């Protein structure tokens, strides 16, 4: 399996890694969800019990019901320590996938398609800023 990594640091202090991974062939929803999250660099090889993946699924279920969850609720549902849950939530917040509001967590938007569109807009905005800065630097250096 070949992987190409691209690191995107967004101006709004969000960091997401896009990893090119072969798409699953079988129509298994768990494989597709794992591919989706892995392609966004959300799940690491160090996460042996797949706790971040399980947390991601729990947040998807909460999004479907439109019910934000506390870290204690998530820990209880998944049988994980609150520390483990908070660690993964912080990573998902840093990536711009999850938002924190009044001690509750929820996906940034209500569907994965909307999430990808939001990330695309973030990326395009950041590339525009980079392009403008590159133009200024080129002018200054007379390139």
Question: pLDDT by residue (tens digit) across 44-85?
Answer: 777 778 999 999 999 999 999 989 999 999 999 999 999 999
Instruction: Give mean pLDDT, residues 35-52.
Output: 86
Q: What are 120's two structure tokens?
A: 């695309």
d(CA 24, CA 29): 10
Return the domain boundaries, the chain: 5-140
pLDDT of 19: 87
Q: How confident is the model at residue 2 (pLDDT cuts 50, 70, 90)?
A: very low
Which CATH code for domain 5-140? 1.10.10.10
DSSP strand E in 10-103: where? 15-19, 98-101
pLDDT of 18: 85
- The 10 Å Cβ neighbour count of residue 22 is 9
Q: How confident is the model at residue 5 (pLDDT cuts 50, 70, 90)?
A: very low
Task: Please determine, for residue 128, whether its predicted confidence score (pLDDT) is greater than 60.
Answer: yes
Task: Please determine, for residue 11, whether its predicted confidence score (pLDDT) is greater than 70.
Answer: no
Task: Please determine, for residue 8, whether its predicted confidence score (pLDDT) is greater than 70.
Answer: no
**What is the share, in percent, of the chain residues with pLDDT greater than 90?**
62
Instruction: Give mean pLDDT, residues 107-124.
Output: 90
DSSP at 69? B
DSSP at 4? -
Q: How confident is the model at residue 13 (pLDDT cuts 50, 70, 90)?
A: low
């Amino acid at each position: 399996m070949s992987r190409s990594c691209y690191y995107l640091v967004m101006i709004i202090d969000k960091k997401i890694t896009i990893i090119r991974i072969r798409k699953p062939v079988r129509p298994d929803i768990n494989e597709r969800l794992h591919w989706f999250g892995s392609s966004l660099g959300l799940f690491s090889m160090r996460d042996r019990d797949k706790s971040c993946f399980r947390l991601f699924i729990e947040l998807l279920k909460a999004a479907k019901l439109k019910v934000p969850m506390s870290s204690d609720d998530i820990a209880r549902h998944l049988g994980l320590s609150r520390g483990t849950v908070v660690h993964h939530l912080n990573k998902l917040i840093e990536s711009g996938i999850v938002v924190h509001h009044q001690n509750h967590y929820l996906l940034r938007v209500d569907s994965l398609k909307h999430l990808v569109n939001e990330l695309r807009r973030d990326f395009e905005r950041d590339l525009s800023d980079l392009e403008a800065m590159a133009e200024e630097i080129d002018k200054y250096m007379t390139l």
